[in-house]
């Protein structure tokens, strides 16, 4: 399904990103993976997938222009990109009732990692796609929170994911004629580090999911791999909800 495609996946050392790397490799793609810093998780993904050490690129996406740097490094490594998956993100509090310094830090870092870096990566990818005859595909990972909001202490996260949805729709509308396709995926709770670990919070989270459980990273990865295949070009601009019917639009 993905034979002859080269795919850049951000935030690929664990969770949805690692599951996506596995799904894409199994479907025949060549992958270039990203993580914020080296570590055991990235080493495990590299070993599990039989990749080379330099198939993993490390960039701190909270830093200015890191998204552009990452795309440039991926192109240097792979020569070309057919698909970009913007999965990397952070979930940190922007406390409405807490210290204003923590408030400022929460908004600043969240917007840098969840909005500016993906936007820069999209721009770098679009510039690359425009220099080719066959276009390209971008899949942006947003969140259910981008539609319905989040907890009162997490407005920055919800706002950042709403921004991801808006930029995806904007560029999908504007670039479809150039065969540059963009999709968004809006998961609810997924079995990753972001999922509630406190037992009472976990009960509350699962109680609001009609399916009766949080999603698995592999479910999101399967949707990403399908969209990356180019099988549904007319769905460009669409957002795919993966939340067990906890938020139905």
Handedness of CA 79, 33, 9, 107 (dihedral sign): negative
Q: What CA–CA distance (Å, rounded) separates 67 from 88?
A: 11
Q: Which residue has the tokens 């949080």?
A: 214
249, with CB counted inside 10 A (0-12, 13-18, 19+), is: exposed
Q: How far apart are CA 93 and CA 76, in angstroms?
A: 36
Of 46, 143, 41, which Cα lies nearest the Cα of 90? 143
Q: How many H helices and E strands in the chain?
A: 9, 7
Cα angle for residues 52, 54, 56 (degrees, 5° grid): 95
Tokens encoding 89:
């993100």
H/E stretch holding 88: none
Is the Cβ–Cβ distance between 113 and 36 less than 8 Å?
A: no
Gap between the Cα atoms of 54 and 241, Å rounded: 33
Do residues 31 and 51 make contact, with C-beta atoms less than 8 angstroms apart?
A: yes
Concerning whether 247 is annotated as a catalytic residue, the answer is no
Give the active site residue among 91, 157, 183, 247.
Answer: 157
Structural tokens at position 42: 């990235």
Neighbours of 138 (CB within 10 A): 29
**Residues acting as catalytic residues:** 157
């Amino acid at each position: 399904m993905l034979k002859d495609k080269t795919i850049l996946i951000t935030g690929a050392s664990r969770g949805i990103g690692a599951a996506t790397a596995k799904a894409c490799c199994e479907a025949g793609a060549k992958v270039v993976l990203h993580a914020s810093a080296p570590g055991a998780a990235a080493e495990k993904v590299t070993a599990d997938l039989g990749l080379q050490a330099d198939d993993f690129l490390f960039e701190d996406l909270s830093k200015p222009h890191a998204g552009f740097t990452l795309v440039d490094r991926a192109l240097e490594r792979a020569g070309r990109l057919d698909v970009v998956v913007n999965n990397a993100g952070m979930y940190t509090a922007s406390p409405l009732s807490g210290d204003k310094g923590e408030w400022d830090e929460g908004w600043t870092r969240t917007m840098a990692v969840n909005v500016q870096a993906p936007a820069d990566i999209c721009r770098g990818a679009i510039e690359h796609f425009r220099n080719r005859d066959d276009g390209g595909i971008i899949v942006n990972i947003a969140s259910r929170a981008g539609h319905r909001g989040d907890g009162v202490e997490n407005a920055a996260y919800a706002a950042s994911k709403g921004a991801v949805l808006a930029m995806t729709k904007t560029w999908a509308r504007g670039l479809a004629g150039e065969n540059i396709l963009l999709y968004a995926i809006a998961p609810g709770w997924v079995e990753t580090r972001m999922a509630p670990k406190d037992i009472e919070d976990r009960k509350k989270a699962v109680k609001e999911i009609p399916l009766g459980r949080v999603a698995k990273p592999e479910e999101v990865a399967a949707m990403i791999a399908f969209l990356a295949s180019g099988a549904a070009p007319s769905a460009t601009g669409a957002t795919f909800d993966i939340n067990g019917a906890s938020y139905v639009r």
